Amino acid sequence: MEPAALQLPSWAQVSEKRRAHIARVTALLDRWAAEMSLTSGEAQAWHDAGRLHDALRDAPEAELRQMVRGTAFADSPAGVLHGPAAAARLEREGETRTGVLLAVRWHTVGNAAWDQTGRALFMADFLEPGRGFLRHDRGFLSSLLPRDFDGVFRQVVRMRLEWTLREGKPLFPESIVLWNSVSGA
């Protein structure tokens, strides 16, 4: 979790606090990848998804809206624009790994079409140790993940949906489809 080792793109717009979050998410993905003995290509995809997912998290809303114009996110709430905006920018810069692009684009909402990279990023974003809530439960899930990737993913999807409902926030259709795809129903 060395902040100096974290290479953000030149176009990133992140506060110091955000940069620390990105570093923790990326470190967690690196740790899981090592514990799960992923291939170097898979491990690199996980690392890059973590490193890049919030690269535009602190960019102005107007700028983000401009970047997602003409896409499915054109009318989305402000809080979900940074993922698709970063994915669009990455594509323009030549990123071709579908798993990385899907992971970054949908990391706030969730998407049932995710491969392991998208699923791992979704979990790392939620389970990273800097968040203050449910420390014990999240730490447990994080340590369990290399042995039970699918089980922990299901649990994280459920916890995030529960939080959204408790806060009285609307659910995205893609989040519901994701839950139905892992709920075993």
CB of 185 to Fe ion, least distance (A): 29
Which tokens is 27 given?
């470190």
Nearest residue to 81 via CA among 13, 131, 176: 13
Query: What does the block give as tokens for 125?
Result: 């974003």
Q: For the CB of residue 175, give the shortest distance to Fe ion in the complex, in Å.
A: 16
Q: Of 132 and 184, which CB lies nearer to Fe ion in the complex structure?
A: 132
Residues listed for the chain: 185
Binding to Fe ion (CB under 5 A) within 125-184 occurs at 125
Least distance between Fe ion and beta carbon 29 (Å): 11
Q: What is the DSSP letter of 108?
A: T
- Minimum CB separation of residue 76 from Fe ion in Å reads 17
- The SS3 of residue 30 is helix
Residue list 77-116, contact with Fe ion (CB under 5 A): none
Helix (H, G, I), strand (E, B) or coil at 61: helix
Residues 4-63 within binding reach of Fe ion (CB under 5 A): 54
Residue closer to Fe ion, measured from CB, 53 or 182: 53
DSSP 8-state secondary structure symbol assigned to residue 169:
P
Nearer to Fe ion, 48 or 54 (CB): 54
Give CA–CA dist 103/95, Å, rounded: 13
- Number of amino acids touching Fe ion (CB under 5 A): 2
Question: Which positions lie near Fe ion, rule CB under 5 A?
Answer: 54, 125
